[in-house]
Amino acid sequence: METVGACFERCLGQAPAEVLMLQLLEAATAQIVAQSSPLQCFDDRVTAGSPVGMGSNPNAKVRLSRLDWQGEIHKSNNKFETHMPNNNRRHFLKTAATATAFGGTALLGPAWAQAPKWPAKPIKIVVAFPPGGLTDALARSYGEHLSVKLGVPVLIDNKPGAGAIIGIDFVAKSPADGYTLVMSTSGTFWQNRILYSKLPYNLDKDLTPVTVFPSGPLVVGIHDKIPARTMAEFVEWAKKNPASMGTYAPGSYPHMVADQTNRVHGTQIQSVHYRGEAPMWLDVASGQSQIAVGSYLAFNAVAARGVRPIGVTGSYRSPKLPNVPTLMEQGDMAKLVTLEGGLPLMAPTGTPEAVLKLLANEAVAWSNTDRAAKLRDTFAIPNKPKNLADTRKDWEGEVPVWIKLAVDLGIKLD
């Protein structure tokens, strides 16, 4: 098998072959650049920013030899940098480095190692909660859409437990190749770093956001026999009676609401943690717990069995409960109840940028389908996921707010 260096030596060592090669490279460049990310030109190098392969050596070098053209193409951190000592490098690199780095295999022969096509095998989405809740429903619907668009199976793997730590840890330690993702509630990603003194992973370094699926206004529901019609009335009742709030995970949004209510109003509401929403709401319906906060659909499953809504979180009313005022409208101006959380889709840090963009773009495409519209209507979610750039922008602005809330509340779960 002829090496790349030998190919350049053979092709560029003779004038006729050199002319032919440059003509071919120029033609290839025009076609390839039109389909690829642009090169960034500097005084002494050209860097091709698209990840490509160069065999198994992550720091491979290819020598270029021809009289006054001496240089190297370096591969480092999945990028190519080509160095040449004279003014001819600009023209040569625009053609040779671009064509080879971005797909000139037909010209250079089989020695040039191509990056494997993605996806080439099934994709797994780990859900950090059991089946039956909003997280699971969204992951399955998005996964089916992704499978059709990409032509590979997308598997949903429910790994509940330990406040979502089990599922998140599994993905945080998975290869950063785009084949293993995780979906959980925003609190388990954003606030767990404060709520737990020690985690088996670093949420800031081991995982990166793909997109966030909005969860819409959450419903505050109480056992129907409790004589309260608003949150303020429930607080007064809880000051005189034992009360517990169901949560779908330790450190979750309802856990924080219970803790904040106790701190502000002097109540002693106990937080009871469940593995997901379904068992949480069932215990409210039976009277085992007096209050809970969760998604509309999970609440609605027990609404006719003894659970009554007294408010919703966020800055706007639920489309499915237009007559139920927000906690803000009821006079609760605490920052916690004004924020809308979500269900982030995360990937291991280091996952190729092109893969992250594709996954986020498909989430946006999914949200515009009739099936997604029906699901969002079922769960009373008016908002949609965003592309990668907008997700990162929101992430930078919102995550610090949630983290500060966790710090201020001082909740520790270990």
What is the CATH classification number for the domain harbouring 382? 3.40.190.150
Same domain, yes or no, for 175 and 261? no
Q: Is the pLDDT of residue 352 over 80?
A: yes
If asked whether residues 23 and 93 sit together in one domain, one would say yes
Are both 205 and 234 inside the same structural domain? no
Band (403; pLDDT cuts 50, 70, 90): confident
Identify the pLDDT of residue 115: 58
Q: Following DSSP, what letter does each residue of 233-292 receive, concatenated? A: HHHHHHTTS--EEEESSTTSHHHHHHHHHHHHH---PEEEE-SSHHHHHHHHHHTSSSEE
Give residue 143's pLDDT: 98
334 and 346 fall within a common domain: no
In this structure, are residues 213 and 140 in contact, taking their beta carbons and an 8 Å threshold?
no
Residue that finishes a domain, picked among 309, 338, 367: 338
Confidence of residue 250 (pLDDT cuts 50, 70, 90): confident
User: Are both 331 and 244 inside the same structural domain?
Assistant: yes
Mean pLDDT (whole number) for 299-323 = 94
Residue finishing a domain among 60, 75, 108: 108
Task: Give the range with max mean pLDDT: 6-15, 221-230, 274-283.
Answer: 221-230
Taking residues 200-209, report their average pLDDT: 94
Quote the number of domains for the chain. 3
- 265 is a domain residue: yes
Residues 317 and 232 in one domain: yes
pLDDT of 131 > 70? The answer is yes
Q: Tell me: pLDDT of 264 over 70.
A: yes
358: confidence class by pLDDT, cuts 50, 70, 90: very high
The whole domain housing 93 covers 4-108
Is the residue at 117 inside a domain? no
Residue pair 325/337 in contact (Cβ under 8 Å)? The answer is no
What pLDDT score does 281 carry?
A: 96
Q: Is the pLDDT of residue 30 over 90?
A: no
Q: What was the pLDDT predicted at 81?
A: 44
pLDDT band at 114 (very low <50, low <70, confident <90, very high): low
Greater confidence (352 vs 74) lies with 352
Asked whether residue 150 is assigned to any structural domain, the reply reads yes
- Does residue 232 belong to any structural domain of this protein? yes
> For residues 213 and 105, what is the distance between their CA atoms, to the nearest angstrom?
40
Query: Is residue 414 assigned to a domain?
Result: no
185 in the same domain as 128:
yes
**pLDDT at residue 82 greater than cutoff 60:** no
Q: How much is the average pLDDT of 405-413?
A: 79
Q: Tell me: cis bond preceding 119? Omega within 30 of 0 counts.
A: yes
Any residues with CB less than 8 A from the CB of 23 and at least 6 apart, and which? none
User: Is residue 72 pLDDT above 50, yes or no?
Assistant: no
Please report where in the chains the tokens 């924080």 appear, as a residue: 256
The predicted structure's pLDDT at residue 36 = 41
pLDDT digits (tens, 9 = 90+) for 144-170: 999 999 999 999 999 998 889 999 999
CATH code for position 310: 3.40.190.10
Determine the pLDDT at residue 33: 39
Q: Are residues 184 and 238 part of one domain?
A: no
Same domain, 13 and 102: yes
Distances from the Cα of 6 to the Cα of 65, 97, 254, angstroms: 9, 16, 66
Query: Which residue, of 53, 75, 108, is where some domain finishes?
Result: 108
Specify whether the CB–CB gap between 161 and 172 falls below 8 A. Answer: no
pLDDT-derived band of residue 385, with 50, 70 and 90 as boundaries?
very high
pLDDT at 106 over 50: no
Kindly provide the residue ranges of all beta strands, DSSP E only, lying in 129-264, ordered along the sequence. Answer: 154-158, 180-183, 207-214, 219-223, 244-247
pLDDT confidence band for 265 (50 / 70 / 90): very high
Backbone angles phi, psi at 82, to 5 degrees: -115, 125
Side by side, which strands form the sheet with 270-273? 270-273, 244-247, 291-294, 219-223, 307-312
Q: Are 150 and 125 in contact (CB under 8 A)?
A: no
Confidence (pLDDT) at 319: 92
Q: Which tens digits make up the pLDDT trace of 177-198?
A: 999 999 998 888 988 888 888 8
| CB-count exposure of residue 147 (10 Å: 0-12, 13-18, 19+) | middle
48/195 same-domain check: no
Residue 114 lies in a domain: no
Please report whether residue 116 resides in a domain.
Answer: no
Give me the chain's average pLDDT, please.
78
According to the model, what pLDDT value does residue 188 have? 87
Same domain, 142 and 205: yes
Only one residue has tokens 């005022």, namely 325
User: Which is higher by pLDDT, 407 or 228?
Assistant: 228
Say whether both 381 and 302 belong to one domain.
Answer: no
Residue 113 falls inside a structural domain: no
Does residue 85 carry a pLDDT above 70?
Answer: no
User: What is the band of 405 on the pLDDT scale with cuts at 50, 70, 90?
Assistant: confident
